[in-house]
Amino acid sequence: MLYASLDIFRADQLHDSSSFLGRGPIVQAADSLLKLVSELKQTSIFSGLASLNDHVGRRIDEFDQLVEKTDSMLARDGEAAAAR
C-alpha cells in the first residue's frame, strides 16, 4: 500500500513539478524510498526463484525415481505375462 501511494506521489510530481518547489528533499526522499522498495522486491523475487529452483530440482529427482520404479514394474509384469 505504501509503495502504491508513493508511486502516485511520484507520478503527480512528474506531472506538476512546479507544485513541489521548495519540497525537494521530500521528493528526493520519496524517490529514494521507491528505489529501495524496488530493490527489496527484486531481491525477494530472486531469492524466491532460488528456492523454487531447489524445489523443482527435488521434484525432478522424485519423478526420475518414479520413472525407474514404473519401468521396473512394467518389465517385471511383462516377464510374468510372457512366462504364462
Number of domains in the chain: 1
Rounded CA gap, 5 and 1, in Å? 6
- Give the range of the structural domain holding residue 36, as residue numbers without chain letter: 2-83
| Helix 24-83 vs helix 2-15: crossing angle, to nearest 10 | 130
How far apart CA 30 and CA 36 sit, in angstroms, is: 10
pLDDT tens by residue, 12-26:
555 444 454 556 888
Q: What separation in angstroms does the CA of 34 have from each of 12, 50, 56, 80?
A: 14, 25, 32, 68
The amino acid present at 64, given as its one-letter code, is D
Q: Is the pLDDT of residue 42 over 90?
A: no
pLDDT tens profile 62-78: 999 999 999 999 999 99
